[in-house]
Amino acid sequence: MAVTPPQDTLTLDPIAMNVVNRVAAGSALSGNLTFEGGLLVQGELSGQIRVNGRLIIWTGGVVSGQVEVTGDFYLFGHLGKTGADVQATQLACHGMAFVSKTGISTGTLEARRLQMYEGADLQGPFKTMQPRPETR
């Protein structure tokens, strides 16, 4: 009798997570952009990007450029462009980064903590964000 290992499950609730912004599939948005609240990317997003909340890159979604995320980061799609230099896309996540089995990162990913699921593909470097020293 074969024993099936337990599967990791990642459940998302966009309403509870305050994901109020979306780049729809088939859409492309680029520039110096700031999003208040969480962001779901199903299309393409590039440039200087700040997300004041959570960032979810959905399967088929692509994000590239210089990205800062104040909340958690969920990768189901692609961080960075295929074949581009790893420095071309840099994402700094001040929360937890989750990379699913369909997630591919060809950029540089920096986060406080990282959770990878079986099949996740980190082709670019990962750095741990160091806590800021307290000032008194």
Structure tokens, 112: 């406080």
Q: How confident is the model at residue 83 (pLDDT cuts 50, 70, 90)?
A: confident
What CA–CA distances, in Å, run from 47 to 6, 33, 44, 69? Answer: 39, 7, 10, 14
Residues of the chain with pLDDT > 90, as a percent, come to: 76
Structure tokens, 62: 């692509």
Distance of CA 96 to the CA centre of its chain: 10
Instruction: Look up the pTM and report it.
Output: 0.88
Residue 126 and residue 110: Cα distance in Å, rounded? 6
Q: What is the largest CA-CA distance in the chain?
A: 61
